[in-house]
Amino acid sequence: MTYAHGLEGGGARGMKLDITLDANIAGMMEAEILAGEKAVTGGIREVADWVKADWRGQVISAGLGQRLANTIRQNNYPARGESLGAASLVYARPNRKRRSASAADVIDAFDRGLMIRSREGFFLAIPTAAAGMKGWGRERITPGGWEKRNGMRLRFVYRRGRHALLVADDARFGRDGLARQKRGRRRKDGILTGAATVPIFVLIPQVRLKKRLDLGPVARAAESRLPAAILRRWK
């Protein structure tokens, strides 16, 4: 490529300057852009991988389980190829059905240490070991779901100075440790032999979750790690 710039003065002393650049500037720029795209894309994905791994590790260390940890995902943009405008999103997968709290809601609650209250303004029903984990239709256990699953009615028990209970009368414990309806003949006094009254839910007005995650500092640290991650790849 040749760039010519003429400077002319008066008389015989007029002057002309020719500058010739032999290098292929267009090719050099194209190569540099490709190198930049590769460096930016690789650096952003490296840092996003680090954030995802750290967040998943925090969830597991907090005792919240591998299943919840696996809901932390990463999306890369573009999904394929490289770009100077590359980006990555690390997030907790939402619950599409919205019948219960999503993984994002649970993780946010433990990250902030939220106060949990009943949506209806009454009590939170905390299941005991005798309740099991699944209600009607294999959904998360609720008092109504437990009654449908077992064909029994729960009875409210008020306890002064202590949390109220929902209990099942005429119940028995199965081999799996869950409460079930006791069947058989009643005595003349109406008592069902071998039956027991079993606490199924503990009723509390509210509960504050202990802060068990600290995700914000990791996200902020990712910003400071990004320039170095990009420069390492820009060769």
Q: Which residue has the tokens 């490289």?
A: 82
CB 141 within 8 A of CB 128: no
142 and 95 inside one domain: no
First to last CA, the chain: 25
Q: What is the pLDDT of residue 195?
A: 79
Three-state SS at 125: strand
28 and 76 inside one domain: yes
Specify the range with the lowest mean pLDDT, choosing from 44-58, 109-123, 218-232: 109-123
**Residue 85: phi, psi to the nearest 5?**
-100, 25
104 and 124 inside one domain: no
Task: Identify the domain containing residue 166 by its residue range.
Answer: 119-185+192-204
Eight-class DSSP state of 140:
B
148 and 76 inside one domain: no
Mean pLDDT, the chain, whole residue set: 82
Q: Examine residue 235 and state whether it is found in any structural domain, yes or no.
A: no
Q: Which residues pair with 126 in a beta bridge?
A: 202
Q: Which residue has the tokens 């299941």?
A: 127
Specify the range with the lowest mean pLDDT, choosing from 42-46, 130-134, 183-187, 219-223: 183-187
Q: What is the pLDDT of residue 38?
A: 93
Q: Please state the rounded mean pLDDT for residues 156-162.
A: 91
CA angle 63, 64, 66 (to 5 degrees): 100
pLDDT band of 10, cuts 50, 70, 90: very low
105 and 26 inside one domain: yes
Beta strand pairing call for 115-117 and 206-208:
antiparallel
pLDDT band of 6, cuts 50, 70, 90: very low
CA atoms within 13 A on the CB side of 217: 3
Q: What is the pLDDT of residue 12?
A: 45
Q: Examine residue 20 and state whether it is found in any structural domain, yes or no.
A: yes
Give the containing element (helix H, strand E) for 225: helix 216-233
Q: Examine residue 210 and state whether it is found in any structural domain, yes or no.
A: no
Q: Examine residue 4 and state whether it is found in any structural domain, yes or no.
A: no
106 and 222 inside one domain: yes
Percent over 90 (pLDDT), the chain: 43
Total residue length of the chain:
235
pLDDT over 80 (residue 137): no
Q: Please state the rounded mean pLDDT for residues 118-127.
A: 76
Specify the range with the lowest mean pLDDT, choosing from 20-24, 72-76, 109-113, 213-217: 20-24
20 and 106 inside one domain: yes
Q: Examine residue 3 and state whether it is found in any structural domain, yes or no.
A: no
Q: What is the pLDDT of residue 47?
A: 95
Q: What is the pLDDT of residues 85-120, one digit of tens each?
A: 999 999 988 766 555 567 888 898 899 888 877 666
Three-state SS at 52: helix
Q: Examine residue 125 and state whether it is found in any structural domain, yes or no.
A: yes
Taking alpha carbons only, the member of 100, 108, 32 closest to residue 72 is 108
Q: What is the pLDDT of residues 189-227, one digit of tens each?
A: 556 667 788 999 999 888 778 899 999 999 999 999 999
Q: Examine residue 7 and state whether it is found in any structural domain, yes or no.
A: no
The pTM of this model reads: 0.62
90 and 126 inside one domain: no
Measured CA to CA in angstroms, residue 203 lies from 141, 143, 177 at distances of 14, 11, 21
Long-range (24+ apart) CB contacts under 8 A made by 138-143 are 139/99, 139/100, 140/99, 140/100, 143/200, 143/201
Taking alpha carbons only, the member of 62, 60, 79 closest to residue 70 is 60
Number of domains composing the chain: 2
Position with higher pLDDT, 138 vs 109: 109
